[in-house]
Structure 1
């Protein structure tokens, strides 16, 4: 280790220990210094991969302490787990020196390290193993989130070929996971950084426009807050009011969802009112503040969100309203207390801190539901990923039992979901529900405030169609388990039937021959074969004859002869096993069946990749296809690198342009006339909808490549009255 590096390292850990002196005693701080010196001697700065240096570890620890709110055990686990892994230090040594239990966290982190050592990308086979690790100690989740936040903050240091996958993974998995843990600030930063590396042009454009309008926005916020401060001070509570600009990713999502431009997004920021009051005065202070806001500014009754009375499952509490502010602009106002704000920012760690003060079991319920998914051996990796994803971003609906007990379920949950949420036995016997006094079927979708009574029958049994009725992971898991039990019983009955009949016929039943017979009859497993016997779908007499015929010799057909000049080599299957192979798309591509994906409509010149379809052939997708993150994360082994051939010859691609503008006389004629003059572009279809002085139109045109597309878009944008042109 060089002298310069040694000085730099000493400054880093001295600053860290001084900043968080309250966590460790003087003796513990000395122990950390000694161990870290040994660590740095074994793992010098030179040649260490990005994200793995001691400086990175200290920054991860800073995130855990300052932004997530974990404590000593998490810090020690992050700093020392590699020394434990390489047997330079034992878990027992750490626990005795620092009087802190770290074994479950360190063991979890070591298993996660093993998974990532095999494959840096979270493909499906690793998914269950990763979350089984998380389930043992939830702090491992928070540490992994902190590590990925640090990776995203330093992503520019990583090789170019790895950045895209890491950024997509952050958006696809870790941002939703942070959201579910209640870490809104972390979730927002992960989404913004992911957008920065996956769509830098859009990111830079929105960032520039936010910067350009900052002075105007600050003035508006100041004008909005000034009269509120005066009125709020009359309540006699300590409080702060501040404006918060929405994240770049959130703004981009609104632009896409509303199919509009940056200038037309009205809620670019929110006003936050935070009270510092005792626990018993929290609700009163928030509702009094709401009354003042509603008196001063016209509220939108459809935009009131009350998470004070019933907090979100991850512990989030706040009162949200949208009001009409100065200059006729809608403004979102969030009202909460210091405690609620800490829970909103630090999520699960703050939830634990305040547990007991306020009954918040939602996070525990969620972790229980995740464990139930993990413990279901019948759920394959892809299904597990879908089930887990459902539990990340779900919105909630609140319903009541006849006795008044409150139940939270995901939005879209059915009466059958509700039955399984009470007890799996009740779910399995459910035949319907009485909702608000009226009989409803099991597929009835629950609404907020419904009073639900489950109706059961002792003869009812689950059937596979129920899997399409329920939406919650708990219900799906329990239904699959129940169906497996039914199948197992049916298989036993079928085997007993066949054994009994064969015994009567003096035929000895051999398991090997039964397996061959089942395969010959087209069954994947012997269990499926026995089930069909139990359900009387197979004739036992026919099976007897087929069983006896198995030992008879069969006449084999002579293979068909082929002339040598008629032989042609079969095309080889294109797979994604060789990551260095690149599929070159063009008219010269032979022997490979490929199609352009309908979800993103790629054209010549777009950045693309190939996806090997189950039925054969390859689908070509744009790299910024909305489905790309999920496909790459779930089916990374089926991804093929792809690019277009040297030039586009003789092929035209349909592209739909969405145009928004003022409904001026002749604007449509001007646009169509412009397109008709283009030599390489033809108009296929046009649909126009005009309303309140504005028109929205969809134009489908045929173009050769992205260069032609960009040129025509620029020309349409300068047509008088056109406000926005976007590619659908």
Structure 2
């Protein structure tokens, strides 16, 4: 279809009598549009209807009814005409002959960009449906970063699909419901769109567990008369006191949804009656000052529960949500949850980024607006996705960031940062800046020194101490909670590992070439380049890294490179290589690893084995597996400990103790007193008298391990202790 097609030129010729009801319903929802904009809306409907001609939904309805319904959802939120037009046309580029150029020519470049942002990547080939969905999400995110309206269209599209899910197969309903609950509902919450979020959650729950939804919904609707009377009496008393204080207000009871009841029953292990035994009210007033005035009034009517007051006006949530939350002692022994907010806050709480839509630069409503916070979140996701290896990994990282529970923290300058619950000081460091995280050493939490793994609580002040020489370690991945931190650490580790691998590969190849009577810098450049090309290496560094990782043997590479060297001074192939040892300093990253079978530590007699894909794996000489490795002497690597070795190394001790209460705590205390960290504990044997435990611990070297063993052996409950 081209812009000149008659179907697209019919725009203003359709008589009102021929306009179907679903289009009229859209036009009523868009009552705030002017006459020219309503005409543009109708033109979009005609173009979309022509493009989707002959296509139907699984329910049998004409396909065009779906995109028009999506536009209606957005019109009810008060979105601009460009968004509504893009919503009507959002499936045309993907599913019809209409092209992006056609859309741009008829409705402008902005509409075309929005439609393109929503379009899935069905034309590309993926390994499976999961990868295709993840790649579609990545593309949608990049479009969101250019214009937030893309995600609003996508959310409205998902909402209408959920409303009409009944026509899908059982398997499709389950898949779509899970995706909705895991991704789209949390995104709506992250953008502050609570009305959309609540409906997506409830429809997802209904599709996933129809019987549970039906039972809970019926119980909610058939509340006992006693509860309805109690609710009315509490509401009347609150309203009376607010009126006496001359506070203009709107007081409404909050109705629980089946999904919220179900999640509380599961998460808090409570019965239906326990969950429902809570009264909820919302007080909407005119100004922020009125919010705090109303708070004093409700606290005067019913006593507040200690520790249950939250001020989200002074410190808004990450999605821009603002409100006062308090819980009161009710007259019937049931708690009363009260939310107090202004009309503007109420609108933002329900509609989020769609509440006050502004696109002109400078019209952003301030730093706390839902739009500016959403834009900051999306910018952070864009930065994250650049460092992820695959769409699936990126999607998993996004899911981590969508958890609703947050902590609010202060920088030394008094700025507020919000992070997911269970975030650590290291997450805070990466939230400040990637470079701060990469060079973090320790933190000051409320002006006290604290390790980077320290979990943070709302209201704390955090300062990060950095050092240029500091760098991420793989252990950091075990305790960070945010996707930004995890992605940045992985990216930096890959870079550091590659640099270490190149350096070690260079050393190993030079040593192997020395056995052939030459050196790397004496190999003619054309010979080296020919060898790299023959083995499909674009750069010398790539081959050196492969050598270090055990994917290519240095002796074989050296033999091939030395073949055309002059015979003078060359050693015959197979002559023993000079045994200059590689020395371990403790700063090796990824290229040298320590075998889990014997857990070598500094001062142990060790050997290195060149393992494909793993690099050099270090074993103790007394390790039982060494006998097997003797069968491949070409893979042995001369290795030892440097004079200055830093860092902690994993070890394990087997302890035989009396089996009685408190013994485990005594042993753990003894290990801690020897300045060793416990990684894991497991029972190997246990009867009524004796228990045998295995402790995985961190030590600096053999002397430190001996100190730990001596400290444990002094305990009178310990019968035997030995290294495993």
Q: Same fold (TM over 0.5)?
A: yes
Deviation at 1:358, TM superposition (A): 6.0
Alpha-carbon distance in 2 for matches of 1:166, 1:199: 13
Q: Say yes or no: does 1:109 pair with 2:111.
A: no
Q: Say yes or no: does 1:229 pair with 2:239.
A: yes
- Structure 2 partner of 1:176: 186
RMSD: 3.9
Counting matched residue pairs gives 533
Instruction: Determine if contact 1:251/1:268 at 8 Å carries over to the other structure.
Output: no
Alpha-carbon distance in 1 for matches of 2:84, 2:224: 38
Deviation at 1:303, TM superposition (A): 1.8
Q: Decide which of 472, 486, 492 is 1:476's aligned counterpart.
A: 486
Deviation at 1:149, TM superposition (A): 0.7
**Helix, strand or coil at the partner of 2:341:** strand
Q: Residues 69-218 of structure 1: matches in 2 within 5 Å?
A: 69-83=78-92, 86-87=97-98, 90-95=102-107, 101-111=110-120, 123-124=133-134, 126-213=136-223, 215-218=225-228
Instruction: Determine if contact 2:322/2:345 at 8 Å carries over to the other structure.
Output: yes
Q: Say yes or no: does 1:367 pair with 2:382.
A: no
Q: Any stretches of 5+ residues in structure 1 without a counterpart?
A: 520-524, 554-728
Alpha-carbon distance in 2 for matches of 1:47, 1:128: 28
Structure number with bigger Rg = 2
Q: Decide which of 337, 349, 352 is 1:347's aligned counterpart.
A: 352
**Helix, strand or coil at the partner of 2:250:** strand
Instruction: Determine if contact 1:487/1:531 at 8 Å carries over to the other structure.
Output: no
Q: Decide which of 305, 310, 316 is 1:305's aligned counterpart.
A: 310
Instruction: Determine if contact 1:518/1:526 at 8 Å carries over to the other structure.
Output: no
Q: Report the TM-score when normalising by structure 2.
A: 0.66
Change (3 A) 1:45 1:306: farther
- Structure 2 partner of 1:709: none
- Structure 2 partner of 1:392: 402
Change (3 A) 1:35 1:186: closer
Q: Any stretches of 5+ residues in structure 2 without a counterpart?
A: 1-6, 8-15, 564-571, 574-724
1:54-106 superposed Cα distances (whole Å, 9 cap, x missing partner): 2222221111121x44221110111234556623772333346xxx8323202
- Structure 2 partner of 1:565: none
Alpha-carbon distance in 2 for matches of 1:290, 1:130: 42
Q: Decide which of 283, 290, 293 is 1:285's aligned counterpart.
A: 290
Change (3 A) 1:119 1:37: farther
Q: Say yes or no: does 1:406 pair with 2:421.
A: no
Q: Say yes or no: does 1:380 pair with 2:399.
A: no
Alpha-carbon distance in 2 for matches of 1:167, 1:44: 29
**Which region of structure 1 is more displaced relative to structure 2, 415-424 or 238-247?**
415-424
Q: Say yes or no: does 1:323 pair with 2:328.
A: yes
Q: Residues 567-716 of structure 1: matches in 2 within 5 Å?
A: none
**Helix, strand or coil at the partner of 1:177:** helix
Q: Residues 550-561 of structure 1: matches in 2 within 5 Å?
A: none
- Structure 2 partner of 1:504: 519
- Structure 1 partner of 2:449: 439
- Structure 2 partner of 1:335: 340
Deviation at 1:325, TM superposition (A): 1.6
**Helix, strand or coil at the partner of 1:439:** strand
Q: Decide which of 288, 294, 308 is 2:299's aligned counterpart.
A: 294
**Helix, strand or coil at the partner of 1:288:** helix
**Helix, strand or coil at the partner of 1:336:** strand
Instruction: Determine if contact 2:253/2:282 at 8 Å carries over to the other structure.
Output: yes
Deviation at 1:546, TM superposition (A): 9.6
Deviation at 1:7, TM superposition (A): 6.6
Change (3 A) 1:255 1:45: farther
Change (3 A) 1:153 1:9: farther
Change (3 A) 1:269 1:514: farther
Alpha-carbon distance in 1 for matches of 2:40, 2:163: 30
**Which region of structure 1 is more displaced relative to structure 2, 80-89 or 367-376?**
80-89
Instruction: Determine if contact 1:267/1:332 at 8 Å carries over to the other structure.
Output: no
Alpha-carbon distance in 2 for matches of 1:83, 1:402: 51
Instruction: Determine if contact 1:372/1:477 at 8 Å carries over to the other structure.
Output: no
Deviation at 1:170, TM superposition (A): 1.5
